[in-house]
Amino acid sequence: MSVDSYLELFTTLFGWTFYGILWDVLLATGIVFLPFLGILIDNWREPAEGGEFGTVTGLSLRRMELELFIALLVVVLAGQPATLTPLKASALGYTPPPTLIEPTPPTATVATPESTYGVTGFTGSAGTVNVPIWWYAVLSMSAGFNHAVIEGLPTASDLRTYEQQARLATVADPRLRQEVSDFFSQCFIPARSKYQAERPASAPINTLLTTYGRDDPDWMGSHVYRDTAGYYDTIRPVAQVSGWPYDAARDTEYDTLAPPTSGKPYCKAWWEDSTIGLRKKLSNAADATSSGFSSLVVAVAPALASEQQSDAVAKTVLANSPPSWSNNDLVIHNAGTTGLLNSAENTLKGGLAAGGALVASALFSVTMTAVLAGLPMVQALLLLGIYALLPMVVVLSRYSVAMMVTGAMAIFTVKFWTVLWYLALWVDQNLIRSMYPDVNIFLQIFANPSEHDAKRMLLNMITTSLYLGLPLLWSGMMAWAGVKVGRSIEVATGTLRNPAEDAGRQGGAIGKAALSKAARR
Single pTM value for the model: 0.73
Of the residues 306, 329, 360, the one at which a domain ends: 360
% of the chain residues with pLDDT over 90 = 10
Q: Find the mean pLDDT for residues 436-462.
A: 69
Q: Worst-scoring range by mean pLDDT, 327-336, 357-366, 434-443?
A: 327-336
Residues 351 and 376 in one domain: no
Closest by CA to 109, choosing from 121, 100, 118, 120, is 118
Q: At what angle do helices 278-289 and 306-320 cross, to 10 degrees?
A: 70
Dihedral angle of Cα 13, 17, 19, 23, to the nearest 10 degrees: 160
Q: Find the mean pLDDT for residues 126-135.
A: 89
Residues 130 and 143 in one domain: yes
pLDDT tops 60 at residue 486:
no
The total number of residues written for the chain in this structure: 521
Closest by CA to 289, choosing from 203, 117, 187, 171, is 171
Alpha-carbon span 79 to 390, nearest angstrom: 9
Residues 191 and 329 in one domain: yes
For residues 408 and 136, the answer to whether their CB atoms sit within 8 Å is no
Strand 128-131, strand 82-88: pairing: antiparallel
Tens digits of per-residue pLDDT, 410-447?
Answer: 888 889 889 998 888 888 888 888 877 777 777 766 66
DSSP assigned state of 186: I
Q: Worst-scoring range by mean pLDDT, 174-178, 439-443, 458-462?
A: 439-443
Residues 332 and 434 in one domain: no
| Alpha helices, DSSP H, located in 29-95 | 34-50, 53-74
Using 50, 70 and 90 to split pLDDT, how confident is the model at 113?
Answer: confident
Tens digits of per-residue pLDDT, 257-279?
Answer: 788 788 888 899 999 888 888 99
Domain that holds residue 371: 8-161+361-520
Residues 52 and 144 in one domain: yes
Alpha-carbon span 318 to 270, nearest angstrom: 16
Instruction: Name the residue with higher pLDDT: 390 or 294.
Output: 390
- Estimate to the nearest angstrom the gap between the alpha carbon of 74 and the chain centroid: 38
pLDDT tops 70 at residue 518:
no
Question: 148: exposed, middle or buried (C-beta count within 10 Å: 0-12, 13-18, 19+)?
Answer: exposed
**pLDDT given for residue 319 in this prediction:** 82
Q: What is the mean pLDDT of the chain?
A: 77
Residues 333 and 378 in one domain: no
How many domains does the chain contain in total? 2
Residues 135 and 200 in one domain: no
Of the residues 360, 388, 417, the one at which a domain ends: 360
β-partners of residue 251 are none
Please check whether residue 1 lies inside any domain of the structure.
Answer: no
Residues 66 and 31 in one domain: yes
Residues 378 and 478 in one domain: yes
**pLDDT given for residue 511 in this prediction:** 42
Alpha-carbon span 399 to 127, nearest angstrom: 29
Please check whether residue 285 lies inside any domain of the structure.
Answer: yes
Residues 213 and 145 in one domain: no
Residues 415 and 394 in one domain: yes
Please check whether residue 427 lies inside any domain of the structure.
Answer: yes
Residues 177 and 156 in one domain: no
CA distances from 419 to 470, 471, 515 (A): 10, 10, 66
Rg of the chain on CA atoms, in Å: 36
**Is residue 335 classed as helix, strand or coil in its secondary structure?**
coil
For residues 419 and 149, the answer to whether their CB atoms sit within 8 Å is yes
Please check whether residue 2 lies inside any domain of the structure.
Answer: no
Q: Find the mean pLDDT for residues 204-227.
A: 88
For residues 185 and 237, the answer to whether their CB atoms sit within 8 Å is no
Of the residues 299, 327, 360, the one at which a domain ends: 360
